[in-house]
């Protein structure tokens, strides 16, 4: 089953990608590798949620933000590779804007990881880091970047 069909079966659609917020590109190709710039979650109106996990947001809400961010990353992957069926995710860096004592960053970033595996199967399995941050741009709760390989 194609990745596009899996998205449809999950009731999900890829978002329209927003223009970069500063002087950078959405992705950079080097041979078969693609380095995706960090993305954060978007509300339905395109705005960015803001607040800290452990204060304004629960772990469960942040999981959904990471899943939302994963949809944006999938949209960038599709743009970079031409098809999600040609994508292999190699590495994620998940950053969680959280209060200092927060320690469930892996549970948050699972929102993105779970989505990638659900849509891409084994090609969505990846190495990963999940870290806490004192702040993120726009006070967004989650930012995730990825490295992928475009399959022949």
Backbone angles phi, psi at 92, to 5 degrees: -120, 145
Weakest-pLDDT range from 11-25, 99-113, 127-141 = 11-25
95 falls within a domain: yes
146 falls within a domain: yes
Write down the pTM of the prediction: 0.96
Q: Give the CATH number of the domain where residue 99 resides.
A: 3.30.1330.40
- Give whole-number Cα distances, 25 to 100, 147, 152, in Å: 31, 14, 23
18 falls within a domain: no
Q: What is the mean pLDDT of the chain?
A: 96
Share above pLDDT 70 across residues of the chain, in percent, rounded to a whole number = 100
27 falls within a domain: no
21 falls within a domain: no
Whose structure tokens read 């949620």? 49
26 falls within a domain: no
d(CA 134, CA 139): 10
Q: Are 120 and 89 in contact (CB under 8 A)?
A: yes
103 falls within a domain: yes
Mean local confidence (pLDDT), 15-39 = 93
**DSSP three-state, residue 145:** strand
Taking the alpha carbons at both ends of the chain, their separation in whole angstroms is 18
pLDDT at 19 over 90: no
**DSSP three-state, residue 8:** helix
Backbone angles phi, psi at 74, to 5 degrees: -60, -40
For residue 89, give the nearest of 80, 77, 105, 79 by alpha carbon: 77
Q: How many domains does the chain have?
A: 1
Range of the domain at 100: 3-13+32-150
75 falls within a domain: yes
pLDDT in tens, 38-80: 999 999 888 999 999 999 999 999 999 999 999 999 999 999 9
pLDDT at 20 over 90: no
Please give the order of strands across the beta sheet that includes 142-150.
27-30, 33-39, 142-150, 87-97, 127-133
């Amino acid at each position: 089953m194609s990745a596009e069909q899996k998205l449809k079966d999950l009731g999900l659609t890829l978002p329209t990608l927003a223009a970069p917020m500063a002087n950078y590109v959405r992705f950079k190709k080097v041979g078969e590798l693609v380095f995706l710039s960090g993305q954060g979650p978007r509300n339905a109106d395109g705005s960015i949620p803001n607040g800290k996990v452990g204060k304004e947001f629960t772990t469960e809400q942040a999981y959904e933000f990471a899943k939302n961010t994963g949809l944006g990353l999938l949209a960038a992957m599709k743009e970079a590779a031409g098809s999600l069926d040609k994508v292999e995710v190699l590495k994620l860096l998940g950053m969680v804007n959280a209060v200092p004592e927060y320690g469930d960053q892996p549970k948050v970033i699972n929102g993105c990881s779970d989505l990638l595996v659900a849509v891409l199967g084994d090609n969505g399995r990846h190495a990963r880091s999940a870290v806490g941050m004192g702040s993120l741009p726009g006070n967004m709760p989650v930012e995730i970047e990825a490295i992928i390989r475009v399959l022949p």
